[in-house]
Amino acid sequence: MEKGMLVLGLVAIMVVGVVVVVESSVEGEEVSYDGRSLIINGQRKLLFSASIHYPRSTPEMWGSLIGKAKEGGIDVIQTYVFWNLHEPEKGQYDFSGRADIVRFIKEIQAHGLYASLRIGPFIEAEWNYGGLPFWLHDVPGIVYRCDNEPFKVHMQNFTTKIVNMMKSENLYASQGGPIILSQIENEYEMVEHAFHEKGPPYVRWAAQMAVALQTGVPWMMCKQYDAPDPVINTCNGMKCGVSFPGPNSPNKPWLWTENWTTWYRAYGKEPETRSAQDIAFQVALFVARNGTFVNYYMYHGGTNFGRTTSAFTTTSYYDDAPLDEYGFIRLPKWGHLKQLHEAIKSCSNPILFGTQFTLSLGQQQMGYIYQRNSGECAAFLVNQDDTKSVAVIFPNSSYELGPSSVSILPDCKNVVFNTAKVNVKNNTRLVTTGKKFNESEMWQEFKDIIPTFADTSMRSKTLLEHMNTTKDMSDYLWYTFSYQHESSNSKAVLSVRSAGHVLHAFVNGASVGSGNGNHEKVNFTLDNTITLNNGSNNISLLSVTVGLPDSGAFLERKVLGLRRVRIHDIQNSKDLSNHRWGYQVGLLGEKLQIYMDHSSSNVQWRNFTSSNNPLTWYKVRFDAPAKNESFGLNLGSMGKGEVWINGQSIGRHWASFLTSQGSPYQTWYHVPRSFLKPKDNLLVILEEQNGSPLGISLDIISTI
C-alpha cells in the first residue's frame, strides 16, 4: 500500500506496467498503449471522441462541426470509411466532394484534434449494404466476412488502398498526422458463430492483415472479445459502463467505440431518444471502472443523402445527437457533456497515473478511487439504483447521490459534477416558413411511364430477386406480365407476397393499391380487389427498396422483391409465380436523369394538374434566400419518393409513413446551403403516391 492512500476497506487494482509499442518506420508521434490508456509520445491520454461521418454532411460544414466538437471538450474525431461510396464499381474510385476523406482528416488536423479511422470495410452504420459495394455480390464463389478467399482479396485490396492513401498524405500520427487509431472489421462477434469453422480464422487473418500494413498506430476491433494481440477489443452500446467486461488482456486499455447518443430513426420503429443524464452516467461509470477512451456515436449524425440509407432508415440520421442534423448545438445534451468532460479531465492525473481502488458504499452504491503516490486523489461515487436517492459516507463526509448518478470529486472531497444534475438551459429548434411553393403555376409535372410486358426486353419464367436484378442501380424494379381473363365477371383478387420493401400495383395502367413492410417486419402481402377486362390485361407491379440491408450473416444471400403472385377470380385461383415475366430496372425519369438541369428537357413536362397521380415527377425553379441560413424542405404534403436540388439528391422522402402517434417520421429534409445557387435553382421531386407539391415550402431552420 502506498503511503497516504485511503484505506477504508478498499480493494486496490494496480496499473499494468506492460506497454505495447506499435512499430513505425517513419518519424512522428509514437502511439502505443498499456493497461490504462493509449500512449501518445510517451504520455498516457484520457480521450473523448466524436463520431462525425464525412459523407453525411458537406465539406462546407466540416470545419464548423469539428470546431463545435472541440469546443464541447472533444479530443478525437472518429469516422467510418465507406467502401461503396469510394469504389461504387470495381476498380473505379471516387474521393471527391463529400467523399474527400483526405480533406476531412486534414480538417481534423487543422483543428488540433486526433482522428480515429474505422476502415471496416464492412461498417453496418445504417448505411446501404453495410458499406459493401454491391458488385461484390457477383464475384464468383464469394461469401462475405468469413474465411473466404474471394472476399478476403477484395477486403485486403480496399483496406490497403485506404491505408496507403493515408500514408501518402502523412496522416498517421507516426508520420506527424492526426490518426491515432484504426479499426478493422465491425461487430463481427455478433455473426461469427453463423460461419462456424470459417469465423475464427477470418478474425485472425483480418487482424494479421491490418497489423502487417504498418500504420504505426494501434488497431482495434469493436465487439470482438477474442481480438488477437496486439489488436484491442472495444465496447459498443449504451451501457458499456455496466456491460463491458474489459479488454481481453490486462495490457490493453478500456476503449468505448460507440456510445449511442440516441436511437436512429427507422420506419416502423417507434422514435426514441436518450437523455443527457443517462449518457453522462454511463460515461462517468465507464471512466470510473478504468475507461480512458469514450466515443460518442453519433456526435453529429447528419443526413443520408441520395440512396445511402440502409433498409427503412430515415434520411435524417441521429438528429438528437449533441450536434443536430443541421449542425446546431443541441442543448442541454452538448452542454451537459462538455461539463462532464471538464470534470473528468480535472481528474486526469490520478486516473492515468494513480492506483485504482473500489469501495462498497451500499447495496447498489460504489466508490471508485484513483490515488497517486503524491496523495493526489480523485473519486467517482456511483448510485446504480434508478429508483431513489441515497446518502453515502465517503470517507467521513456524507454525499447525496440521486438515482442513477455519479458524483465526480477531483480531490476526493468536493463534488464538481453530478451526472443527473443538468445546469444547462434547453434550446429549441425554430422553423420559420420561408419560400412557399403553393401556386400551381409554379410547378410542372411529368407522369412516368408504366411499362407493360410488351415494353420490356428482360424476360424470365420465374420471379427474379430484386437486388440481384437491379444491382442497386435503382430502388425500382418493374415486374410485368400479360394476363388472359376469360369471364364475364370482371372482379378478381390480386395477391402478392413480397420480401420487401414497397409495392405499387397497376392493372391496365391504373393504380390498384400499394403495400409495404417496415423496419421490424420486412415481408408483407398485398391482397386487393381488381377489375379485369374480358380478354388480355396488363399487370405491372413496381417493387421498391428503401435502402439495402446492412447487417447479419450471409448478407450476399438476402432476398428482396416479389416471391409469389396469384390472381383469384370467381372460377379459379392461378399462381403466376412461374408465369412469363417481363422486367424493367428503374423508372424512365431516372434513366433520362430528368432531375438534372442539362437533361430535364429529355421529357415533355406539362403544366401542373390537381389530379395527384402516382409515379409523377414535379419540378419548380426558385431563387435562394439571400441570407446565409440553414434550410429544411417541408415535405409534409407529399407521400413517398426522392428529392433533388440542382441535380443533387437530398434523400428519399416518406412523409406518408406515420408513427403510432400519427406523425410523419420525418417532415423537414435538410438542404445544405452549398447545394443552392443564388438564382434559378431546380427542385425536382419524384412522388410515388398521391402527394401534392402545393404544400411544400423551403423553411429556415434555427435554434432559440
Looking at the annotation, which residues are catalytic?
Answer: 187, 258
Burial 285-314 (b: 16+ CB within 10 A, else e): bbbbbbbbbbbbbbbbbbbbbbbbbbbbbb
CB 252 within 8 A of CB 273: no
CB 365 within 8 A of CB 390: yes
| Cell reading at 531 | 377489375
| Residue-by-residue DSSP string for 608-630 | --TT--SSEEEEEEEPPPSS--E
Q: Which residues, at least 6 apart from 585, have a Cβ–Cβ distance to it below 8 Å? A: 458, 469, 470, 471, 473, 474, 476, 477, 478
| Cell reading at 631 | 434550410
Evaluate the omega torsion of the peptide bond into residue 410 and state whether it is cis, within 30 degrees of 0: no
In sign, the C-alpha dihedral spanning 273, 276, 280, 281 is negative
Q: Give the whole-angstrom CA distance, residue 481 versus residue 473.
A: 23
CB 498 within 8 A of CB 561: yes
Q: Give the whole-angstrom CA distance, residue 251 versus residue 20.
A: 7
Scan for cell 420471379, then name that residue.
Answer: 463
Q: Give the whole-angstrom CA distance, residue 34 versus residue 21.
A: 9
CB 445 within 8 A of CB 453: no
DSSP at 42: T
Q: Give the whole-angstrom CA distance, residue 189 versus residue 209.
A: 18
CB 659 within 8 A of CB 271: yes
Q: Give the whole-angstrom CA distance, residue 394 versus residue 652.
A: 55
- The total number of residues shown for the chain amounts to 704
Q: What is the phi/psi pair of residue 320, to 5°?
A: -90, 15
| Cell reading at 541 | 407491379
Burial 168-202 (b: 16+ CB within 10 A, else e): ebebbbbbebbbbbbbbbbbbbebbeebeeebeeb
DSSP at 623: P
| Cell reading at 8 | 477504508
DSSP at 161: H
